[in-house]
Copies of this chain bind each other. A is one copy, B any other.
Amino acid sequence: MSDRNQQFQPDQSDLLMELLAARRDVRGNLFLADELDQADIDQILKAALHAPSVGFSQPWEFVLVLDKVQRRQVADSFFAENQKALEQFRAGNYDAAKLEQYQALKLEGITESALNIAVFYNPKKGPVLGQTSMPDMGRYSVVCAVQNMWLMARSLNIGMGWVSILDPEKVKTIVNAPADRELIAYLCLGKVDQFYDQPELETLGWEARKATSQVVLSGHYPE
């Protein structure tokens, strides 16, 4: 391994910015049928294992799901939860055009992608350094691992999508997870022949990109 104390150069920082900006949430309609190379899967998992974790607790577990039956079961949970989501949007007074737009969106790639990875939080018994005042810190460590995976996948030109319209308990059952585990993310990974230029929901006008001035404050919120 290279020297961890190394000084990175400005062009390396620029490259990171390009990578952050080029990362996309990839859905089923963009995945190719090709298998992933084992070396690439290993590199993506290695990226996860180098994420920060509160108190160096490394409270993550990654279940690689290839089986078609399991994936069909997960997809069934998606369809059921997405129907509930639609009802919530309807109850939330979204107009007919917005509801139609929602229904037209492809929001997962569970069966089309080469690989699914279910990412769990494995809570430690007893106190964890850094987690005593903010109990969600362990979950947040697992999320940092997911973001590392997303960036590594993108640098390998592999698409990744995070599917969150799922019943976490159903996914736990499908992969036989112990009762104390908690599903943080369900990921779909695969080769793609393109990445969108900007987030699809931005392109479609589902939400507008916020200006920096809307979300960066100096010192405190206004009185």
Contacts and interface: CB of A to CB of B under 8 A. Distances in A.
A222 B178 CA distance: 9
A29 to B, nearest CB: 16
Tell me the number of copies of this protein.
Answer: 2
A60 interface: yes
Nearest to A201: B56
Given A85-B133, A132-B84, A139-B136, A156 B218 contact: no
A217 interface: yes
A4 B143 CA distance: 24
Interface residues of A, number: 115
Contacts of A60: 215
Nearest to A89: B127
Contact of A219 (B66, B148, B181): B66
B45 A212 contact: yes
A38 interface: no
B197 A4 contact: yes
B52 A25 contact: yes
A22 interface: yes
18 contacts: A4-B198, A5-B194, A8-B19, A8-B157, A12-B15, A13-B152, A17-B46, A20-B47, A49-B210, A52-B162, A54-B164, A56-B199, A56-B209, A57-B207, A58-B215, A63-B221, A92-B126, A175-B217
Given A62-B215, A176-B223, 6 more contacts: A7-B157, A8-B156, A52-B147, A62-B216, A129-B201, A130-B164
